[in-house]
Amino acid sequence: MDKLIERENAPRNPLVAAPALAVQFFLIPLAVVGLTVIVYVGFRSLLTDSRGAHDYLTEVRNGGSDRRWPAAYELSRLMADPTVRADRTLAPALVKAFDAAKDDPDPRVRQYLALAIGRLDPPLPPEAVAGLTRTLDSPDGEARISAIWALGSSGDPSVVPKLQPLYESPDQGIRKMVVYALGALPGDAQLQTLRTALQDPSPDVRWNAAVALARKGSHEGVPVLRQMLDRQYVEQAVRREVRQDEDRDPIADVMISGLRAAATLKDEALKASVTTLSQQDRSMKVRQAAMEALKVIG
């Protein structure tokens, strides 16, 4: 019995207990973390899309009906990368795919391909301009809008006479994009159309016209720009709701566009409005844009 009591009361050796503690408090959690990392990397490798522009083009040409438009969409996004646009073989391949898609039953394929072409570095190849110009007669309004935007990004002033008649469209979306494209293209041949658009019944079209004229150094749109810097007016004109899951405010977008145009013109008539926005507007993005505009205006 004495020996049993002595054995129970004997102090534990810390050197013997240390390995068990290391396994319990360090090695097991480390193994769990390591397994989690392996699973995460595995899923990421499955989800990561390493396809390039030509891979998407191949899928646009040869993929099934449920794969062509997503491939065209991903391609249009990929074209935002300057290293992708640097590929000299991409422009003719894009134009060829765009022409081949004219009979595609899904109009989204042609829409996204037009956006991809518009993101090519200007000037666009003549065959691209010709293909986009033919799309201006398409019955699909969205395809026409995409083609107009792409032509506006072409840097080719020869397309101005082809775009100006489209301002007569009853579709305000087409008029809005025509005015934007005319403002982006070089030259002064479109100034009269832009002046006319200052009186358009659609606020979006008027705003685009004022900004376009400012980019060309014209002060004729200053009254409209002043409206763009009036939050109360813009809130009444913009009917779109701000989505909580998006970091985007369409009202602030309009006001910031007006502030950038005001900075371009450096018009003293707008300085008071810009100053007020820099101090009092509820949007920090608008305040920041106003302060930047004031630095330019002086």
Q: Could you report the per-residue pLDDT of 97-136, keeping only the tens digit for each?
A: 998 888 888 999 999 999 999 999 888 889 999 999 999 9
* CA triple 202-203-207, angle to 5 deg: 125
Report CA Rg, the chain.
Answer: 30
- Cα distances from 158 to residues 99, 155, 274, in angstroms, run 21, 9, 36
> Which residues fall within 8 angstroms of residue 47, CB to CB, at 6 or more apart?
none
> Residue with structure tokens 């993929």?
63
Q: Could you report the per-residue pLDDT of 73-98, keeping only the tens digit for each?
A: 999 999 999 999 888 889 899 989 99
Q: Could you report the per-residue pLDDT of 195-248, keeping only the tens digit for each?
A: 999 999 999 999 999 999 999 999 999 999 999 999 999 999 997 655 554 567
Q: Supply the pTM of this predicted model.
A: 0.78
Q: Per-residue pLDDT averaged across 174-179, rounded?
A: 97
Which pLDDT score is estimated for 224?
98
How far is Cα 113 from Cα 98, in angstroms, rounded to an integer? 6
Q: Could you report the per-residue pLDDT of 270-285, keeping only the tens digit for each?
A: 999 999 999 999 999 9
Percentage of the residues of the chain whose pLDDT score is greater than 70: 81
